[in-house]
Amino acid sequence: MIPLSLAQIARVTGGQLCHGDPDAVVSGEVVIDSRRAGPGGLFAAVAGERSDGHDFAAAAVAAGATAVLATRPVTVPSVLVADVPAALAALARSVVDALPAVRIAGITGSSGKTSTKDLAAQLVERLGPTIAPAGSYNNEFGHPLTVLRADAATRYLVLELSARGIGHIAYLCRVAPPRYGVVLNVGHAHAGEFGGLDQVARAKGELAEALPADGVAILNADDPRVLAMAGRTEARIVTFSSAPVSDAPVRAVDIRLDDLGRPSFTLLTPEGAAPVTLRLHGAHNVPNALAAAALARELGMDLDGIADGLGAAVARSRWRMEVHQRPDGVTVINDAYNANPESVRAAIDALAHLAQGGRAFAILGHMAELGGTSRASHEDIGEYAARIGDSGLAGLIAVGEEAAPLLDGARRVPSWTGEALAAPDGAAALELLANRLKPSDVVLVKASRAAHLEGVAAALEGEAGQ
Ligand SMILES: Nc1ncnc2c1ncn2[C@@H]1O[C@H](COP(=O)(O)OP(=O)(O)OP(=O)(O)O)[C@@H](O)[C@H]1O
Ligand SMILES: [Mg+2]
């Protein structure tokens, strides 16, 4: 963070300084979790559903924070503002304006933002000091908090931009105007809230619209709704594609998956070809890697550096396609971070690939926020699971009532010989699976964030049968 005095913070946010020395300086991290408040930092108090950050203002200052950003009076040094996200946005924008040499990249899409951001950050870090968010810090809180970590040494910001409605990405782009914009895909994540895929495309395309004429729009040529965003930007267009035939400048060809679903491919760019083997699992990480490669290339990285960096990159964020091999021969795929129709299909594809020598089971929870198409989407995924590979999954366990339509979908496949099992909760799902699993079986665990199935995956990983 660039050191800012409380007087400066009050001015930038239009806030009022209370109980504080105007010359006291904030030079540490800006946080919204008081437990993470540290020396010289700023604690932004937010009133949540379960607790109110203002109650922790004194604790944050006791832990060393210089002051608190608050919306109601507290007893410690504070800057009183009307709206905390707006204040964070104003502060973040002032930091961006003070660091004109920093090159800013924004990454959006329905699935794969965090995976791509983590890959891109691991490439861009090789070019110079880079700030990228931890996990999915991608909304009106996490985004400015990430930007605020930048200081005079920072050269690159690699940001994840999320939207739950029209205007959200445009807003984040005003906080930290990107010169490089990556759009991965337009899918059904939050489609219910948006009101359909065309609205999702409208929202994600705000990133393309925000780019300046000397910027670069990095677009997935394999997704027509993304490619169409080329018409919504002044920026230069660079496309990427993992299709066998494409005129995109950044491509993956000869894509193969090893036994654990890790992709290898030949990376083609206008500069030449280079072999790449990812440490990440699942074919869906190929477009993510191409997006990261296209961004790094625009930032000046050469082909060998990109190929080397992609091969060295590890999964930085938890519960996305973590493949765990138990000593008893069972393989667990922990993809419990989140779920939408596209990412569940991608995960089932990976499951089927990994289970070529054994049987495939899936513990699936429901996919949230799909709106009116929710039941049909769950049925379609169930049907997909019953048709995958030679004979479909050996067992499909739906956790919770809302996930039950998955089983209806699977049952509509007459040739399917697998088991459709309903579990009221994760513990019941584990019990159902316990008597069935044999060495060389593979189990996928996946659901929307709200279902918290990562505990189920962790329990399965621990049940090593040693
Ligand atoms: N390109 C892709 N296509 C389909 N699914 C993907 C893709 N990339 C990642 N996934 C899957 O989607 C899920 C979420 O991945 P990731 O966290 O990278 O996405 P995200 O867009 O950041 O999600 P969120 O909106 O929750 O922040 C994971 O299960 C992952 O395996
Ligand atoms: Mg994310």
- What's the confidence (pLDDT) of residue 189? 78
Average pLDDT over residues 51-75: 96
The SS3 of residue 234 is coil
Taking only the tens place, the pLDDT of each residue in 324-333 is 999 999 999 9
For the Cβ of 113 lying below 6 angstroms from any atom of ligand 1, the answer is yes
The SS3 of residue 40 is coil
Confidence of residue 334 (pLDDT cuts 50, 70, 90): very high
Neighbours of ion ligand 2 (CB under 5 A): 113-114, 136
Report H helices in 18-112: 57-62, 84-98
For the Cβ of 202 lying below 6 angstroms from any atom of ligand 1, the answer is no
In the chain, what percentage of residues exceed pLDDT 90? 89
**Which atom of ligand 1 is nearest the CA belonging to 321?**
31
- Which residues are within 8 A (CB) of 95 and not within 5 positions of it... i.e. 6 or more apart? 1, 2, 147, 148, 150
- What's the confidence (pLDDT) of residue 304? 98
For the Cβ of 54 lying below 6 angstroms from any atom of ligand 1, the answer is no
For the Cβ of 242 lying below 6 angstroms from any atom of ligand 1, the answer is no
Whether 41 contacts 149, CB under 8 Å:
no
- What's the confidence (pLDDT) of residue 465? 42
- Which residues are within 8 A (CB) of 69 and not within 5 positions of it... i.e. 6 or more apart? 9, 13, 15, 30, 42, 43, 44, 45, 78, 79, 81, 84, 87, 88
Q: Are strands 250-257 and 236-241 parallel, antiparallel or unpaired?
A: parallel
**Which atom of ligand 1 is nearest the CA belonging to 190?**
25
Asked whether the predicted pLDDT for residue 295 surpasses 80, the reply is yes
Helices (H) and strands (E) in the chain, counts: 17, 22
Confidence of residue 463 (pLDDT cuts 50, 70, 90): low
The rounded Cα 337 to chain-centroid distance in angstroms is 9
pTM above 0.85, yes or no: yes
Mean pLDDT, the chain, rounded, equals: 95
Here the tokens at position 130 are 């880079």
